Amino acid sequence: MAGALGFFYQKADPKVIAGFAVLPPLIAFVAKNLKFEAKNSWHARLHDGLDSLRSRLVYQQPEVPALEQVARIASDRDALEIRMQAEWDRELLLNWTGVLNHPTRPQSSESSAGPDAD
């Protein structure tokens, strides 16, 4: 789009054209790093898991459930929360280290040998 703007409208301010040129990579970067689709899936799976536990608690227990039955569902809920939080931390947490840390250039064998290598 920026190319077309610069080609057909030569009087356009270069800053405006540069602004249009930066939009596609910026949008792609944000979409890739914020992981909207994966986060949506995570929330849906958490909701489904909690809904399943609620169904077990409300509909799949006797009228007066035993303490062990309720404790089992509570334990399953805790396990679900721990598993989902670990997945969030491992895969969905926004990680700026790739953006902030520039990769260092590997040193050639000549410079790593040192000045006294002759």
Q: Are residues 80 and 66 in the same domain?
A: yes
pLDDT of residue 118: 45
Q: How does pLDDT run along the chain (118 residues), one tens digit per residue?
A: 555 655 566 676 777 777 778 888 888 888 788 888 999 999 999 999 999 999 999 999 999 999 999 999 999 999 999 999 999 999 998 766 655 655 555 555 554 555 554 4
Number of domains in the chain: 2
Same domain, 14 and 1: yes
Packing angle of the helix pair 14-34, 36-59 (nearest 10 deg): 30
Are residue 85 and residue 71 in the same domain, yes or no?
yes
- Domain membership of residue 48 as a residue range: 35-91
Residues 51 and 85 in one domain: yes
From CA 21, how far away is CA 23, in angstroms rounded? Answer: 6
Distance (Å, whole) CA 53 – CA 46: 11
Assessment of whether the complete model's pTM goes beyond 0.85: no
Pair 42, 24 in one domain? no
